[in-house]
Amino acid sequence: MSAVIDSHGTSHGHDDHHDHGAPAGLMRWVTTTNHKDIGSMYLWFSFVMFLVGGVMALTIRAELFQPGLQIVRPEFFNTMTTYHGLIMVFGAIMPAFVGFANYLIPLMIGAPDMAFPRMNNWSFWLLPPAAILLIGSFFAPGGAAGVGWTMYAPLTSQMGPGMDLTIFAVHILGMSSIMGSINIVTTILNMRCPGMTLMKMPMFVWTWLITAYLLIATMPVLAGAVTMTLTDRHFGTSFFNAAGGGDPVLYQHIFWFFGHPEVYIIAIPAFGVVSQVIPAFSRKPLFGYASMVYATSSIAILSFIVWAHHMYTVGMPVAGQLYYMYATMLIAVPTGVKVFNWVATMWKGSLSFETPMLFALGFLFLFTLGGFTGLVLSMTPVDVQLHDTYYVVAHFHYVMVAGALFSAFAGVYYWLPKWTGRMYDETLGKWHFWLSIIFFNVTFFVQHFLGLAGMPRRIPDYHTQFTEFNVISSIGAFGFGLSQLLFLYIVLKALRSGEKAADKQWDGADTLEWTHLPTPMPYHTFENPPTIK
């Protein structure tokens, strides 16, 4: 047990704190250092950004509903694809899982709060300015940057001041992520309650420990890449400018050295949520806990050595292509182990299918499909055909939306009763799940066919042979988008008039927040750490 908890536990009596509720008013949220408040703010922020990014996605799908240019100009279309990606990755999915981490890690390891509560406040409050910069770039002269979320040089050199605002936004988001990660690592390593050894931690905590290291290692790399872009734009450097002795492809190497681990930064916490939800609704412990920890760590390590599989067509030596192909295929092994473990967890369980479990199973099914297409794409000769087509778009939306987003929904439905003390409407929750999974597949499954037939991504207009699947995809996208408003309604309804939730709402749940804390939780929890046998 750590010294931090010792001093806190003894110097403040248990009773001193119990009458401390949350302070009232707006300043509560500005000044709060409480991990629950900060977790809630992260989750709400990410939902707002999810809607903003979603509107951009629907703009794209509306333009692509029919061939020809109907709604937006091509340069605006490019900004939509760019900021849809940036906002969904950095504004919606990542903050959502950081929100889960803030709210749940202290509860799951029996700690009173995060290790650095003020830094925690600061890491959240960096996000709104970054979001303002991102969205503000649309109002800069020349509009926002139409360069794709990957921001490849030297196209970035041709953009207006909107590009600079975006670069600063990325800097700020990176700072926020690094601070959040340091906080998470310190909390997990130092503030576990007595008896909570590393190999007894809930899987969700393990996944965040690994993710936090990935973030600390890669966010500075991204910051470096965009800073070089900035100096190339304004200060006469030539990192990515061949005319000055630089190399445009260097940018891609640096970006994807960040970018590939980033995929796992998003996916690994999602694995963590699912690893809590599936055992709870199978009423059976997670199968192969230790191998799950090792598999997750292997995925994290492998993620650093496969980056150039995003660049098979850039013109690297054939030996490089072979190496990246083999290394990429290798990732299928630990990923397979995880999928097998989840299925084995369900095997001979006692399964029930409340909304969190439905979303977790939706995750398992569709994420695995995304994994299969990933395997197809790992094959260099096939990837050369499919690179930068809609096949890749479909692949990463299976991993990011059906993977990460569905897992986040599973998490929200699972923990909402604990967080708010109120139950959501189970019938509406199931509606949300079925609408989401059906419309998701309507939107993205057909995009595999578009890619196989050769439709490039990031084009505002297309040949008429692609019309049919684009029509289907656009209809699905609008259905999917509208279904998410139902989610907002479900959460608000639960907050206003949901039934009171039980202390242990799910009978299969076995982590500390369910077994040791009342529902609703007091504002401060585990001021005296519990002891685990």
Residues taking part in catalysis = 84, 113, 149, 176-177, 260, 262, 264, 275, 309-310, 335, 338, 457
Side-chain-facing half-sphere of 193: CA atoms under 13 Å: 25
Which parts of 244-263 interact with other proteins (CB under 8 A)?
247-249
- What are the beta bridge partners of residue 422? 500
Which member of 305, 339, 486, 532 binds other proteins (CB under 8 A)? 339
For residue 263, what are the CA distances in angstroms to 90, 168, 208?
11, 22, 14
* Binder of other proteins out of 1, 459, 486, 532 (CB under 8 A): 459
CA dihedral 483, 498, 495, 528 (to 10 degrees): -120
Which C-beta is closer to other proteins: that of 33 or that of 467? 467
Q: Is residue 349 close enough to count as binding other proteins by CB under 8 A?
A: yes
Torsions phi, psi for 331 (to 5 deg): -60, -25
H-state helical runs in 64-160: 74-86, 94-109, 117-125, 127-136
- At its nearest, how many Å lie between other proteins and the CB of residue 533? 17
**Judged by CB, which is closer to other proteins: 31, or 385?**
385
The site string for other proteins over 471-510 (x = CB under 8 A, - otherwise) reads xx--x-----------------------------------
Give DSSP secondary structure letters for 493-531. HHHHHPPBPPTT-STT--SHHHHTS-SSPPSS--SS---
Q: Does 379 bind other proteins (CB under 8 A)?
A: yes
Q: Which residues in 210-239 contact other proteins (CB under 8 A)?
A: 233
Question: Among 467, 481, 522, 532, which residue interacts with other proteins (rule: CB under 8 A)?
Answer: 467
Indicate which single residue of 148, 194, 220, 520 sits in contact with other proteins (rule: CB under 8 A): 148
- The footprint of other proteins on residues 6-65 (CB under 8 A) is none
Is residue 290 a contact point for other proteins (CB under 8 A)? yes
d(CA 379, CA 392): 13
Query: By CB under 8 A, is residue 426 in contact with other proteins?
Result: no
Q: What angle do CA 329, 333, 337 make, to 5 degrees?
A: 155
| 27 vs 318, beta carbon nearer other proteins | 318
Q: How many CB atoms lie within 10 A of CB 66?
A: 16
Lay out the site mask for other proteins across 78-117 (x = CB under 8 A, - = otherwise).
x---------------------------------------
Examine residue 189 and tell whether it contacts other proteins (CB under 8 A). no
Phi and psi at residue 56, in whole multiples of 5°? -65, -40
What are the DSSP calls for 454-474, one per residue? TPBSS-SS--GGGHHHHHHHH
Our finding on whether 198 is near other proteins (CB under 8 A) is: no
**Shorter beta-carbon distance to other proteins: residue 117 or 160:** 160
426: Cβ–Cβ under 8 A, 6 or more apart, which residues?
354, 355
Does 384 participate in binding other proteins (rule CB under 8 A)?
yes
Given the rule CB under 8 A, which of 4-12, 34-42, 188-196, 289-297 is the region that contacts other proteins? 289-297
Which residue lies nearer to other proteins by CB, 7 or 350?
A: 350
CB of 409 within 8 A of CB of 402? Answer: no
Closest CA to 163 of 192, 136, 183, 189: 136
Among 16, 426, 461, 499, which residue interacts with other proteins (rule: CB under 8 A)? 461
* Residue 372 makes contact with other proteins by CB under 8 A: yes
Distance from C-alpha of 342 to C-alpha of 165, rounded to nearest angstrom? 43
Q: What angle do CA 520, 525, 531 make, to 5 degrees?
A: 115
CB of 446 to other proteins, least distance (A): 10
Cis previous bond, 279, omega within 30:
no
Residues 299-328 binding other proteins (CB under 8 A) are 313-315, 318, 321-322, 325-326
340 part of the interface to other proteins, by CB under 8 A: yes
Which one, 21 or 245, has the nearer CB to other proteins? 245
139 lies in the site for other proteins, by CB under 8 A? no
The window from 9-17, 111-119, 263-271, 370-378 that contacts other proteins (CB under 8 A) reads 370-378
Rounded to a whole number of angstroms, the CA Rg of the chain reads 23
Stretch that binds other proteins, among 100-108, 210-218, 345-353, 408-416 (CB under 8 A): 345-353
Residue 284 binds to other proteins (criterion: CB under 8 A): yes
Q: Which two tokens stand for residue 1?
A: 């047990």
Given candidates 18, 468, 515, 518, which one binds other proteins under the rule CB under 8 A? 468
Indicate if the alpha-carbon torsion angle 416, 418, 422, 427 is positive or negative.
positive
The verdict on 376 binding other proteins (CB under 8 A) reads yes
Closer residue to other proteins in complex, CB, 458/516: 458
Tell the smallest beta-carbon distance from residue 271 to other proteins (Å). 16
| Eight-class DSSP state of 89 | I
DSSP string, 291-315: HHHHHHHHHHHHTTS-GGGG-GGG-
